[in-house]
Amino acid sequence: MARRNPVPGRNLSQIFENAPSDFLREFLASCKTPDGDLLDPPDLETTAAGDTPNENLREFVDVLDPDVLGELDRLSSSVLELSEGKGITSLETVAANRLYNVDHDLFSEVPDPLCRSIWVHCRFPEVFQDAESFYAARRYRDHRKLYAAFEVDHDDLVELDRLTPDTDRLCRKLEELLELRAKATASVLELPQTTAHPPSLMVALRHPGALSSIRDHREDGNLKTYYYRPSHEAVLIYTPAQRKIEVCAESFSVRQQVANAFAEIALSQDLSAKPLTKRDFNLTRFRTSFDLELPDLDEAEITSATVVEAEMPLGNWARRLNLKVTRDEDIENAMTAYVRDASQMVRKFGFAKIVIAVGFVRRSDGKKATLRLQVSGGNTSNVQSQRDPFLRDLGFKLLAHWGLMDELHPLTDEEKARWFQFLLSLYDLPDDVVSGNFFSAAGVDPRRLMQSGFLTRKPRQVLVLIDDDDDGTAEGELQTGPRKGTLTEQGGFGEDRGVITDTNAISYGIDRRWLAEEILKLLGAALGVKSIEIETNHLTRLGAVHLKKGSVPVYLVRDLGNTKVLDALDIALRQKHKLGPGIVLAVSESAPKYLGPNVVVKLPTVLSRDGSDIEINWHEFQRQFDAGRTLIAASQLAQVIRHGANAGTLVLPGTDPLSLTSAIQLRFFEKLVTAAADGSGEVLTKVLMDGTGSDHPKNLFSPKMRDIVTGTYICHGSSNRYWRLRSGLRDLITDMED
């Protein structure tokens, strides 16, 4: 008997292995073909003699189009996700809330989690979609990704059981704020109390993205363009007991505007008088000490502040070390005494939760009390759920004083315009972590950018290289200094080298998604374009602008100092030749003159500022584009234009310019250009490769660029021992050979 191949797709294979035949057939019948028709799997009663129902369905799957199989595998992944772990409780929670009594009874009678997931997916797709949204929101809350939380600073909040959001108004408000071209939809779900979260309300808002298109290659060979708007989702969770609105969405501006719209419409809050507050809590200060300075406050005398509980994750969230002490004990001594290598563990893992017992006396009435503050990193603190406004305000003041809390204050329009050039330099950095040296050299204080959400503070350096009179450089160590903002520097043998500022030793993490979003929004407004498409981490298509000779595509690129990135961008932009020559806006100072057929314009050279607006100097914009295109069009002879010792551009008549990124590449093409100019035309391979450390031209270029260079710019001469330039104009030698 011939061995049957496995079911295509890992997820679909699991469905086949674990689902009964009737549920399997119903699942297959829920998938659509590319033409929009539902699949029609064979009835279970029509099984051939000797075959089981699953084998019959398997034969049906074997002949399906690969694209349909891919969609089936994607749907299988969604079904499996809600049939395992927390996905099960997510599906059960939503089903209990959304299904009517009779339907919910039928749901409860379905035999197992996988079958229940298939049943809801096939019969109640909207309920299944809400369950997916709830499950995604739970994961976002746990892992703090694509997530933001905002505090509602009002005492007259509507109770959860009396809250009925007007979803129509909410959707219209969202359409207005995000300038949507199509309607948004919303689903509302009451979430019951769990061990981790109080009762909450979830609103899943689904809204359209920017208009996109795809080219369909039809069976008759013709191409047809289909336009569509991809669907995006923002999931909001409102928890009255914590006075908190949490929003999960890809864009931070969407998170903020969704939270504002909900507070204004569902909670009837006047945000102009008291806007929502986004607070982030940071426990990194406890990596060095548990000591807390007692502040001098107007409303209360703080008599004591002691860390009584510290929780440390050990590699992942499933393993945690929790240490509790009384107010009279020193938790640092207890950790040193009972936890082996405590300092190394703290340095490696940090803390996930800290609890502080604060003793205070109210100045108004002289009453003594204790306030228990809990901070769980990210953006969770029990201060938000304090119903007494006095205790809530006191708690936030204490957390701010100890450096455990940062309030997010987005940059104003004037600040964005004033900081735009520096934000571009941040955007151009290759890594997501930047040293304090970067800000010192630019004369910029990073604290405002931290408040705006663009930066987060990372652990400072411990080991550094220091100047040594005997050995030139040696390894030193930085320790906590005697005053805030200072460090003590020690040499390789423990000698004291004095006190220095901590500015250059601190590193900062860049929220690249939020930074890119703000830059593209400002740049899009200055260019007057709305169709912005992020193609890769280094290439963004900004639509088209209208210049003197018509519409011109515009792109934004970054990190051009990396030759691998430069080669990849060159290839990607050459593939867009059908759009015609365009403009590439480069953030980097080390930008080439051309990328593919496009003229490269250094963005800072065409920017200007008018108050709180970023503007494009259109005269300079047009001048640089015209100059770049004129150089190519007017070129009658091959030439290498040097931009420095290791960068240049090869210009060949009739061919797109080629960026050269090394001194070896420059010398290689200069030899070929000289040969073309003096009439010899070709150069012996040995002469060309002299001093390159290689014996073949292809080794001078990255693997992705080799085929482009050898097929477009150079070719063999009269024999394989020679090379010459290959012009895009009429090739005389090739014509003679033909």
* pLDDT for 1: 37
Q: Band of the pLDDT at 118, cuts 50, 70, 90?
A: very high
Q: Band of the pLDDT at 574, cuts 50, 70, 90?
A: confident
Q: How much is the average pLDDT of 162-166? A: 82
- Write out pLDDT tens, residues 649-676: 888 887 888 888 888 999 999 999 998 8
- Write out pLDDT tens, residues 133-157: 888 877 766 555 566 777 776 666 6
Residue 255: name the closest of 335, 146, 159 by CA.
146
* pLDDT for 228: 66
The chain-wide mean pLDDT, for the chain, equals: 82
d(CA 224, CA 230): 19
| Per-residue pLDDT at 285 exceeds 70 | yes
d(CA 371, CA 378): 21
| Per-residue pLDDT at 347 exceeds 80 | no
d(CA 525, CA 427): 18
| Per-residue pLDDT at 423 exceeds 90 | yes
| Per-residue pLDDT at 728 exceeds 70 | no
| Per-residue pLDDT at 183 exceeds 70 | yes
Sheet of 185-191, strands arranged across: 147-151, 244-248, 231-239, 200-208, 185-191
* pLDDT for 637: 80
Q: How much is the average pLDDT of 361-369? A: 87
Whether the full predicted model's pTM is greater than 0.85, yes or no, is no
d(CA 175, CA 622): 35
| Per-residue pLDDT at 556 exceeds 70 | yes
Q: Which residues does 626 contact at the CB level (< 8 Å), separation at least 6?
A: 548
459-467 long-range contacts, CB within 8 A, separation 24+: 459/284, 459/287, 459/347, 459/507, 460/487, 460/502, 460/505, 460/506, 460/507, 461/505, 461/506, 461/507, 464/489, 464/505, 466/491, 466/497
Most confidently modeled of 237-246, 269-278, 309-318, 631-640? Answer: 237-246
| Per-residue pLDDT at 620 exceeds 90 | yes
- Write out pLDDT tens, residues 466-483: 655 555 566 667 666 666
| Per-residue pLDDT at 539 exceeds 90 | yes
Q: How much is the average pLDDT of 501-508? A: 73
Q: How much is the average pLDDT of 275-281? A: 72
Angle between helical axes of 101-109 and 86-98 (0-180°, round to 10): 150
Q: Band of the pLDDT at 352, cuts 50, 70, 90?
A: confident
Choice between 566 and 275, residue whose per-residue pLDDT is larger: 566
Please check whether residue 74 is in contact with residue 64, taking contact to mean a CB–CB distance below 8 angstroms. Answer: no
Q: How much is the average pLDDT of 250-260? A: 82
- Please, where are the H alpha helices in 327-456? 331-338, 342-349, 389-401, 413-428, 436-442, 447-451
* pLDDT for 695: 86
d(CA 466, CA 486): 17
- Write out pLDDT tens, residues 49-86: 445 667 788 888 888 888 788 888 889 999 999 999 88
Write phi, then psi, for 244 (nearest 5 degrees).
Answer: -130, 140
Q: How much is the average pLDDT of 83-93? A: 90
Q: How much is the average pLDDT of 554-570? A: 89
Amino acid identity of 369? Answer: A
